[in-house]
A and B are shown apart, each in its own frame.
Chain A
Amino acid sequence: MNVAAEIDWGKLAPLRLRARAIAEGVWAGAHRSARKGAGIEFGGHREYTPGDDLRWLDRRSLLLHDRLVTRQFETETDRALWLVVDATRSMSYRGTRARGAKYAWCSVVAAALARVAVASGDPVGLELLGAGARARRVPASGGREVFDRIVMALESSSVDGDAIADAGVVQRSLAPIVRMARRGSIVVVLSDLIDLPQGAAREIAALGHAGRVVVVVQALDPDEIDFPFDGTFRLRSLEGEITVETDGNAKERYLARLAQLTTAWEEELSGRGARFLRASTADDPGDVVRAIVEAAR
């Protein structure tokens, strides 16, 4: 069964206001990094996305090939922020102690980061892992409107996709970033990392090549962190159609396996120069945003 799960925004709604509020607290210490004006060095083309500055629309391409293509310049991509938010079904999980679903919490963090970046004059782009047919990726661009596009993309996306069944979901989502993110770009991946296919850690860490900064945030629900269940019960995974009959005695072995998984991710990412952060959806998103900003410097 592959039905898009409803997103439990919980205390994190509305996303736009929450993100702004969080960004206000972070922004105070940030400095403006982007430059205004035309680019200095042509950096290539990309497809036009509604909202792009029409000044950089490549009219020649439009006339010759009838395609809307935007010209890019190096100056715009120096400190671009690429946000990758995991929108597979496992991100819809919310325990009793969490502020909202993992996707909602990651969306708040991502939107806040986008707001911070926009305030700094840096271009921001968004990619979603999974998210189904309605997913809207936001190409990296500057300007205030990109924040709105990111918020809209996050809010309108459904949590869908099965990373266990679809092993290519990570590769497909990261491909645009690999192609377009320039040296100095910051890639922030927000995911629970627990359902991603084997090799995902290596693919994400590979983003750090060519001078990019990669920050991976593992966002887990409090229930996933300490496994508070007791008695005999059956657990049904949100991806992979897995049902496990177990009891409270499995806590120790579960935590061991989770730690093993986390350690594997951390070792893989750290070994390739990426930063790894671990967060709980019960944590204050502002603290996590600051941690990410610190980690990205």
Chain B
Amino acid sequence: MSFITALALGLVALVLAPYLAHRLRRRSADVRDFAAAHLVPPAPPMARRRSRLEDRALFGVRALAVIALALLGATPLARCSRLSLARGGASIAVAIVLDDSMSMRRRTGPSTPIHFARARAGAHEIVASLVEGDAVAIVLAGAAPRVALAATTDRTAAKAALDALVVSDRATDLEGALAVARTLIADLPQADKRVVLLSDLADGHRDGSTLALDGAIPAWNALPDLAADGLDCGVAGADRAGLRVKVTVACGPSASAEGRPVEIVDEKGAVVERSTVQRSRAEVTLVLKAEPPGSLVARLGGLDALAEDDVAPVVTESGPSAVAVVAEAASGSEGPSGAPAVEQALLALAVDSTIRPLPVLPDQPQDLSAFAAIVLDDPPGLTPEQRRALAAWVESGGVVLIALGRRASTAPLGATFEPFLARGPTYAPSPVAGARRPALHPGLAGAAETLGDIAPRGRATLGEADAHGYQVDIAWADGAPLLLRRSLGRGEAWVLTLPFRVDESDLALRPGFLSLLDAFVREARRHAAPRRVEVGSTWVFERPRALAVDGPAGPVSVVRDPDAARVTPAVLGLYRVREGERSESRVASVATREMDLQPRKISGESRREPLGAAHARVDVSWMAALLLMACLTAELVLRLVLARKEERARGADLT
């Protein structure tokens, strides 16, 4: 038995002694026969109650007094488990980096709070340990790092800011958060500057470089026991095309979802379809038996460290999945069917979309709504109706590929390419052969390599103003643009300065042509499907009309500036975006690196003096002294009042 244990037992005995004495004193009264009992006055009610109430009150007061005395005596030794900063005499500027990422939703036991709650409580303790003149700033380490509170000396504001914080499903960006925190306090006048890190250190870079906590502004990992150590898998995405649902399961580096069930659950919670993960990092495809009436949810069964990422909404890929091809038929040398080269190439790619050849581009917007992508091969300009319909379609999410050639340059009067091109292109023999500039679009990397030796008869040239508005993905050897892209509303316009016809160029004969078309179709499908981003990424809406976003947790705040509105989804799930009369669905999906729950290595803490402690020494002497004085006063008052009452009751009884 340690000395502290013996001391604690002694204190308990001291507190209990008055209570036991009280109980012994209050043993049940003896019953005696007495002939003159009716002459004996009963003890006054106050006197009888006194044995219960007064003694109980006195017992309470005395027990409190004993505790106060013990605290008073133990003040030099009194410690409590709370975070506090080690301090000299000067004021401190401290930046608290609070991790609000998804991994902080972990809890060590079913009844224990989540790590974020512990970290926030630790931040409260840090703030409580500050004194007048100290400055505090709060930075959230969920990606992207945010400033929850700029540096201030107002501790009340800091406490309020901490109370308002909630955990999110974001990924973790410790380095960014530390950098922001150091920036926030770097210019403050306090000489002693510190960063307090309250995180599980699971940022998905456990094998990366160590996180340096030393430097000009040192950082203190205040809650090392929060370090994550679990294994986690989750549903990275669930996409549905028709009755097929493709569920993507992702796991942390050491975890495996093999053998765990994957279920499709309807709105009522009933399991519609079930399958099993065959191997780690697998895609599980489930085929529904019938069209479900409402929305669906994909759920990964079994247990792991985080339950929040085991559920994801099933996103229905949008209806328009067909690709329209507007091209002149082959002139006889392009194959037995006479289909245009681009159409044949798309069929050869076996894209999971319907290829619809069109003789002319429809001039009604509703006629374009069935298409996810439109390929225009050397169109002889567009009529005003076609232009209006095509522009509206692109702005609503469509992707168009316009290949410019001889006919495009000789468009009749009034048949232009606005709003894609302000001026008509010119077509002339190509001064150089081959593309040189590497592709910026990742899907075009292969295409750029194989187009290095194309030898066209001619090429289209855009006006300078038109080319300036586009991003050049692939350029000719002389720098002239070959493939350009531009976002227009929610859609994109791709412009190629070569036609597809083989009598004009050998582009369609190059392997890179298929790569280009594949990238185009994938981009079109991505636009047609609900937009999926990692949670924590920002959606930007340029000059939106009435914008409202509803997420899984209710309406999401929209940050507006004169030119754009920004929405950042902080939790996983499906978001409904209403922009004017138009509405769409977007999905915030899990950042797979957040499933890596192994802590990142840190360095630099052992080489310096500790910046704080988890067990603070607390001066409770003034509180104990006040309590003791209050107890003594209370006992005096209690005795005085009760004595008067008893005296009054006795006098009344005698009279």
Contact = CB atoms under 8 A, between A and B. Distances in A.
B48 A245 contact: yes
Interface stretch (A9-17, A230-238, A287-295): A230-238
Interface in A218-260: 221, 223-224, 227, 229, 231-240, 242-247, 249-250, 252-254, 256-258
Contacts of B29: 231-234, 245
Interface in B23-45: 29-43
A242 B36 CA distance: 10
Contacts of B36: 90, 192, 194, 224, 237, 254, 258
A38 interface: no
B40 to A, nearest CB: 5
A261 B39 contact: yes
B209 to A, nearest CB: 79
Contact of B35 (A221, A227, A233, A245): A221
Contacts of A276: none
A104 B465 CA distance: 137
B70 interface: no
Contacts of B40: 227, 235, 244, 246, 250, 253-254, 257
B559 interface: no
Nearest to B33: A236
B42 A194 contact: no
Contact of A237 (B30, B37, B43, B51): B37
A227 B34 CA distance: 10
A82 interface: no
A93 interface: yes
Contacts of A127: none
Interface centre among B30, B31, B42, B48 (most CB of A within 10 A): B42
Contact of B41 (A223, A240, A250): A250
B43 A245 contact: yes
Contacts of B34: 93, 223-224, 235-238
A195 interface: yes
Nearest to A240: B38
Q: Report whether over half of chain B's contact residues are helix, strand or loop; otherwise say mixed.
A: mixed
B37 A250 contact: no
B653 interface: yes
Contacts of B345: none
Given A245-B29, A253-B653, A238 B43 contact: no
B47 interface: yes
Contacts of A250: 40-43
Contacts of B39: 194, 254, 257-258, 261
B216 interface: no
A91 B35 CA distance: 8
Contacts of B654: 252-253, 256
Q: Report whether over half of chain A's contact residues are helix, strand or loop; otherwise say mixed.
A: mixed
B37 A235 contact: yes
A195 B511 CA distance: 127
B35 A249 contact: no
Contacts of A243: 31, 37
A114 B41 CA distance: 39
Contacts of B33: 93, 235-238
Contacts of A238: 33-35, 37
B24 to A, nearest CB: 12
Interface string B66-98: 000000000000000000000000000000000
Contact of B42 (A91, A246, A258): A246
B244 to A, nearest CB: 86
A243 B41 CA distance: 11
A192 B34 CA distance: 13
Given A93-B33, A232-B29, A234-B30, A247 B38 contact: no
Contacts of A252: 654
A246 B653 CA distance: 13
A192 B35 CA distance: 9
A233 B30 CA distance: 5
Interface string B139-155: 00000000000000000
Nearest to A260: B39
A259 to B, nearest CB: 10
A33 B513 CA distance: 161
Contacts of A245: 29, 42-43, 48
A236 B51 contact: no
A90 B41 contact: no
A291 B525 CA distance: 130
Contact of A232 (B37, B41, B51, B650): B51
Given A246-B43, A249-B47, A256-B654, A233 B31 contact: yes
A244 to B, nearest CB: 5
Given A194-B36, A245-B48, A254-B36, A236 B43 contact: no
A245 B619 CA distance: 50
Interface centre among A192, A231, A247 (most CB of B within 10 A): A247
Interface in A38-95: 90-91, 93
A93 B35 CA distance: 6
A165 to B, nearest CB: 12
Nearest to B26: A232
A100 to B, nearest CB: 14
Contact of B38 (A91, A93, A244): A244
B41 A237 contact: no
A236 B32 contact: yes
B515 to A, nearest CB: 102
B570 to A, nearest CB: 68
A244 B43 CA distance: 8
Contacts of A256: 654
A283 B42 CA distance: 30
A91 B36 CA distance: 10
A229 B654 CA distance: 19
Nearest to B654: A253
Interface centre among A194, A235, A239, A250 (most CB of B within 10 A): A235
A235 B43 contact: no
B32 A233 contact: yes
B646 to A, nearest CB: 9
Interface string B111-143: 000000000000000000000000000000000
Contacts of B35: 90-91, 93, 102, 192, 194-195, 221, 224, 237-239
B37 A247 contact: no
B43 A234 contact: no
Contacts of B47: 247, 249
Interface of A: 90-91, 93, 102, 164, 192, 194-195, 221, 223-224, 227, 229, 231-240, 242-247, 249-250, 252-254, 256-258, 261
20 contacts: A93-B34, A164-B38, A224-B35, A224-B36, A227-B40, A229-B32, A231-B29, A232-B29, A233-B29, A233-B30, A234-B29, A236-B31, A237-B37, A245-B48, A246-B42, A249-B650, A250-B42, A250-B43, A253-B41, A254-B40
Interface of B: 29-43, 47-48, 51, 650, 653-654
A-B CB proximity, top 3 nearest: A237-B37, A90-B35, A93-B35
Given A223-B34, A233-B31, A236-B31, 15 more contacts: A90-B35, A192-B36, A221-B35, A234-B29, A235-B34, A235-B40, A244-B37, A244-B42, A247-B47, A253-B40, A253-B654, A254-B39, A258-B36, A258-B39, A261-B39
